[in-house]
Structure 1
Amino acid sequence: MQRLITRVLILCFISQCLCDISMVESENTIYDVRNYGANGNGKSDDSNAFMDAWNDICGRQGTPTLLIPENRVFLVKRNIIMKGPCKATNINIQLQGRIVAPQKNAWEGDKSTMIYFTNINGLRIVGKGGSIDGFGSSWWPCKNCPRPAVIGFNACNDLSVSYLSITNSPQAHITINGCKDAIFSHVSIRSPADSPNTDGIDISSSKNIFIKDSNIASGDDCIAIIGDSSYINATGIACGPGHGISIGSLGRNNDNVEQVRVYNSSFTKTTNGARIKTFSGGSGYARRITFEKITLNQVYNPIIIDQHYNNIMVTFRGFRGTSANDRAIDLACGSPGCFNILLDEIKIVSSQPGKPASCSCTNVHGRSTSTIPNCNY
């Protein structure tokens, strides 16, 4: 009898172990979009397949992975909305193939965002080997027409995006709104200098966002930070062409931006380098903003403040390189003035040999030390 009980207990233990192993396997399974009807031939619309795959994965437990396989081209004609909250603890997306949008006349979705992630925690996107092409050239001729962004993240916390490559967005390439604790690394964004309003990365109402080791070429701001955003860190950014890295525009909705650091980054043939811009009559603040260790190559406005309210604290430190404009530093503050502006260890010369570079200051209060060109305020 004792032997029988022992055997039964052993069988139950083994059965339970096998069940647990089976559950782990099912929870951590890789889900290929082709199994949901995606053809990946670049001709037929794969939008529904992406949506079906997401809806299935979001309902799974554990850490499922959505695979967009290599050597395939997935055409999406409608908005893909990947919505949470999900049962999964984390969700991985491996983008190994290409996702492409059609030309403007063949786009069947709305003009918001082509691929939209919302209300998801623990999302991990790795784009090694893959890419997204927004076919923006068919949208750009109509500069004032509504145009979609390529990819957007809304209310996504604990987010990681790496090795993502996006080209030719109709409008902004990446938008980040209402997110917390996100890391973007080794991101590549490429659009022509004359592509209208094609911001690289737009950040609004977000906190603890880290962008590092990325290349951004666009027709507008490489990175723009607006809304109630704080603790934003951009390190190792190669910007150009584009309009530089901007805090703003601010002030339209009582915007507050603070604790922003742009470090060890470069601007090449951009319209602006480090920029603070606000609306006239606006309210809010931009404080504890630091641009440090910046390399400039033929930048038209290397350091520029165009602002109209006085609650501002900005440090520009360790700038080196050339200005394509006679006015290398332009600090233009409204009548209330702007305070706590620090220029330190700066050497900017004209990109044209023998031509002087100058500094212009209006209603500016702060300190300027070891700065070429000299700024008196």
Structure 2
Amino acid sequence: MQLLINFVIILGFISPCLSTRLNVGTKDGIYNVMDYGARGDGKSDDTQAFATAWSNICKARGKSTLIIPAGKSFLVTKVHFSGPCNAKIHIQLEGKIVAPPKEAWKGGEKLILIENLDELTIDGNGEGGAYGDGSTWWNCPGGCEHERPGILHFHSCKDLSVRNIKITNSPRSHVSVNNCIGAIFSQISIDSPAISPNTDGFDISFSKNILVEDSNIKSGDDCIAINGGSFFINATRITCGPGHGISVGSLGKVRDNDQVSDVYVRNCTFIGTTNGGRIKTVSDSDVSVSDVTYRGFTGTCEGNVAVKFECSSAGCPNIILDRINIDSNQGKNLSTVCHNAHGTATNTIPVVPCLQQNVL
């Protein structure tokens, strides 16, 4: 397993005229959900209008654009954009897709499911996106641990591009990526409070060649969680916090042979997070961690422990710390936890005793 981490830390309504509008013509491959009966008033159920618009655009040929217009709020109980489609589709997401409260939820595990699509692009205007009404879920009895849904889920997509959208207050994970090859997420704003449980910003699993860049993620859990079966994952210029940081794992939680490699985290800022960059494993013996580099990692720590390597008896070989400088923001003497890690630490403060110390 090869993992390179490089951080910089700074601390049932249907329009009565729907039957006459379903067969409206399109102009230059443009499909507007308003033309299929959507009201966009934030109160009427626009689920069927979205379904009908998608059915039409998916059957089209050539380049086609689905318009979700600005200045509108579209209440839906479930959105399912599924392929394969004949058209090469662009979604202009400038309005707001609004989830119902918990008692009216009908979307199952995800509010918006996008699957089996190649070369899909989604563009917003910075305010368009999805709003999850998560507060109606977060404090339910028992935490609704196995019931709380996510907002935006991509499954079996290839060469995906998503830019400039906002996702707020998800009941659970905000964006999940599963079994996808090639995706760029850029200028994504994710915003949920620190008290929101299990609201990962991004959950990535069984996917490769995924880039998340130039994004701001506030959540009650990991800003980005990179799970088993993920390779060549790149997080660049992410501002994370509140949240739990950027995490690999938990590995071994579901299957003993979880594999993750070629993860690169660069030029990221963490503010008020419980962790910076971490690797989580559940199995004490079946999951090995090796070839991990932390370089140019600077910042302050509120607690007593600045660096923690707690490896199994198999050890964690080839751990490299280079130019690490972590101070206490409360004037404390910081400590490290160092168990069965092996490698080198160059110009690293505080000292990590189980690694060979180099000063250049």
- What is aligned with 1:312? 290
Assess if the C-alpha contact under 8 Å between 1:206 and 1:228 holds in 2: yes
From 249, 264, 269, the counterpart of 1:266: 269
- Distance (Å, rounded) in 2 between the aligned partners of 1:233 and 1:32: 34
Q: How many residues align?
A: 324
- What is aligned with 1:42? 42
Q: Does 1:233 align with 2:211?
A: no
- What is aligned with 1:57? 57
* Cα drift, residue 340 of structure 1: 1.0
Q: Does 1:83 align with 2:86?
A: no
Work out the percentage of aligned pairs sharing the same amino acid.
Answer: 52
User: What is the SS of the residue equivalent to 2:63?
Assistant: coil
Q: Does 1:73 align with 2:78?
A: no
- In the TM superposition, 1:39-188 aligns within 5 A as 39-77=39-77, 79-88=78-87, 90-110=88-108, 112-128=109-125, 129-142=127-140, 143=143, 144-188=145-189
- Distance (Å, rounded) in 2 between the aligned partners of 1:62 and 1:27: 13
Letter in 1 for 2:260: V
Letter in 2 for 1:225: I
Query: Judging changes above 3 Å, is the alpha-carbon distance between structure 1 residues 233 and 28 closer, same or farther for their aligned structure 2 residues?
Result: farther
Letter in 2 for 1:177: N
Letter in 1 for 2:180: C
Letter in 2 for 1:104: K
- Distance (Å, rounded) in 1 between the aligned partners of 2:54 and 2:147: 27
- What is aligned with 2:299? 321
Letter in 1 for 2:340: N
* TM-score between the two structures when normalised by the length of structure 1: 0.84
Assess if the C-alpha contact under 8 Å between 2:285 and 2:313 holds in 1: no
User: What is the SS of the residue equivalent to 1:211?
Assistant: strand
* Cα drift, residue 28 of structure 1: 4.5
The CA deviation string for residues 220-253 of structure 1, in whole angstroms up to 9 with x for no partner, is 0000001211111100000000000000011231
Letter in 1 for 2:89: I
Assess if the C-alpha contact under 8 Å between 1:27 and 1:64 holds in 2: no
* TM-score between the two structures when normalised by the length of structure 2: 0.88
Assess if the C-alpha contact under 8 Å between 2:177 and 2:202 holds in 1: yes
Assess if the C-alpha contact under 8 Å between 1:310 and 1:339 holds in 2: no
Q: Does 1:344 align with 2:296?
A: no
* Cα drift, residue 312 of structure 1: 2.1
User: What is the SS of the residue equivalent to 1:171?
Assistant: coil
Letter in 1 for 2:138: W
Assess if the C-alpha contact under 8 Å between 2:285 and 2:312 holds in 1: no
- What is aligned with 1:376? 353
Runs of 4+ in 1 over 4 A off after TM superposition: 25-28
- Distance (Å, rounded) in 1 between the aligned partners of 2:138 and 2:152: 17
Letter in 1 for 2:86: K
Assess if the C-alpha contact under 8 Å between 2:96 and 2:129 holds in 1: yes
User: What is the SS of the residue equivalent to 2:97?
Assistant: strand
Assess if the C-alpha contact under 8 Å between 1:319 and 1:345 holds in 2: yes
Assess if the C-alpha contact under 8 Å between 2:284 and 2:312 holds in 1: no
Q: More strand per residue: 1 or 2? A: 1
The CA deviation string for residues 255-302 of structure 1, in whole angstroms up to 9 with x for no partner, is 11000000000111111110000112464xxxxxxxxxxxxxxxxxxx
Assess if the C-alpha contact under 8 Å between 1:28 and 1:62 holds in 2: no
Question: Which structure is higher in RCO with an 8 Å CA cutoff and minimum separation 6?
Answer: 2
Q: Once structures 1 and 2 are overlaid, which stretch shifts more, 26-35 or 38-47?
A: 26-35
Query: Judging changes above 3 Å, is the alpha-carbon distance between structure 1 residues 324 and 277 closer, same or farther for their aligned structure 2 residues?
Result: same
- Distance (Å, rounded) in 2 between the aligned partners of 1:322 and 1:311: 26
5+ long unaligned stretches in structure 1: 1-24, 284-308
- Distance (Å, rounded) in 1 between the aligned partners of 2:288 and 2:118: 37
* Cα drift, residue 310 of structure 1: 3.0
* Cα drift, residue 109 of structure 1: 2.8
- What is aligned with 1:11? none
The CA deviation string for residues 33-52 of structure 1, in whole angstroms up to 9 with x for no partner, is 01111000111100111111
Assess if the C-alpha contact under 8 Å between 1:27 and 1:62 holds in 2: no
* Cα drift, residue 132 of structure 1: 1.2
Query: Judging changes above 3 Å, is the alpha-carbon distance between structure 1 residues 28 and 376 closer, same or farther for their aligned structure 2 residues?
Result: farther
* Cα drift, residue 108 of structure 1: 2.4
- Distance (Å, rounded) in 2 between the aligned partners of 1:204 and 1:109: 21
User: What is the SS of the residue equivalent to 1:230?
Assistant: strand
